[in-house]
């Protein structure tokens, strides 16, 4: 078992954010169709209540998303995505200047707008594959970037699970993307192996079993396991929180430094 003891820093526009324990990234979906919490927080009042609750319960990072990327989801327009998130972005930055505010988007224009409002990092499920300007935006703004592994698009990704060697393929993907980011001066990269994204039931557990392998890059590892379908299928819908806690416990033991979750308080207690 890996001892959970880390000392890291993220460089955000020249300012260092230092941490020595796993971080909780709280999910704030401003969408009507996300797989678990779609429609629960997609109004100004509800999103503010969710924001305040996540901070009170111990989230270190707030991850705001305006476009669902669940399997089979359709894309929306850029302006629709921005309209969903612009209010809560501004409020989050203003209310909680000491918290890290992240935006979950694969569009460089959304990233640019969010960063101009003071957002601290970008979480891109496509790893720069959907928008060729994304890496440039990250470089120009000198902020950390969550690089996730994905094949295909949310609409068709579950038909693209035929890997020659899953773990080697993900490592190769990360190496290529990291080299490109480094060439643009981006060094603060957070790796997300993409649980549930172009991965079938068994492949998700294969990644979890081999999570420590990704430490070869000496970069923080983020996992997004929270209440996903493979956990619901394994533990039952009614036990999806317990299953998520068990899987995140294993992930932390195997080197995850950031866990992206819906249930903040329970994971704060898990880390403690």
Active site residues: 228, 260
CA triple 181-183-189, angle to 5 deg: 30
Place of tokens 């678990």: 36
- Report the 10 Å Cβ neighbour count for 126: 21
Please report the DSSP string for 108-157 in residue order. HHHHHHHHHTT--EEEETTTTSS-TTHHHHHHHHT--EEEE---S-TTTG
| Contact in structure between 266 and 245 (CB atoms under 8 Å) | yes
Q: How far is CA 160 from the centre of its chain?
A: 21
- Report the 10 Å Cβ neighbour count for 242: 13
196 CB-near residues (< 8 Å, 6+ apart): 71, 204, 224, 228, 229, 230
How far is it, in rounded angstroms, from Cα 220 to Cα 215? 8
Checking DSSP bridges between strand 8-12 and strand 258-261, what pairing results, if any? unpaired
Checking DSSP bridges between strand 8-12 and strand 15-19, what pairing results, if any? antiparallel
């Amino acid at each position: 078992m890996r001892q959970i003891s880390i000392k890291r820093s993220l460089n955000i526009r020249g300012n260092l954010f230092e941490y020595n324990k796993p971080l909780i990234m709280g999910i704030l979906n401003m969408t009507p169709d996300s797989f678990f919490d779609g429609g629960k927080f997609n109004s100004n009042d509800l999103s503010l209540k969710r924001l305040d609750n996540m901070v009170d319960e111990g989230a270190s990072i707030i991850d705001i998303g305006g476009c669902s990327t669940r399997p089979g989801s359709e894309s929306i327009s850029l302006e629709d995505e921005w309209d969903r998130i612009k209010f809560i972005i501004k409020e989050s930055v203003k209310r909680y200047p000491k918290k890290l505010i992240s935006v979950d988007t694969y569009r460089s224009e959304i990233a640019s707008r969010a960063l101009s409002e003071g957002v601290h990092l970008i979480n891109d499920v496509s790893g720069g594959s959907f928008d060729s300007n994304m890496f440039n935006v990250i470089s120009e703004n000198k902020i950390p970037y969550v690089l996730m592994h994905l094949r295909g698009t949310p609409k068709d990704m579950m038909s693209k699970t035929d890997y020659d060697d899953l773990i080697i393929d993900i490592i190769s993907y990360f190496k290529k993307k990291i080299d490109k980011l480094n060439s643009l001066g981006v060094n603060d990269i957070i790796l997300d192996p993409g649980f549930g994204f172009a991965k079938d039931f068994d492949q998700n557990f294969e990644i979890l079993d081999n999570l420590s392998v990704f430490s070869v890059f000496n970069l923080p590892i983020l996992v997004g396991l929270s209440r996903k379908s493979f956990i619901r299928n394994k533990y039952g819908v009614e036990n999806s929180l317990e299953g998520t806690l068990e899987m995140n416990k294993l992930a932390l033991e195997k080197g995850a430094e950031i866990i992206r979750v819906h249930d903040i308080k329970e994971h704060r207690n898990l880390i403690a």
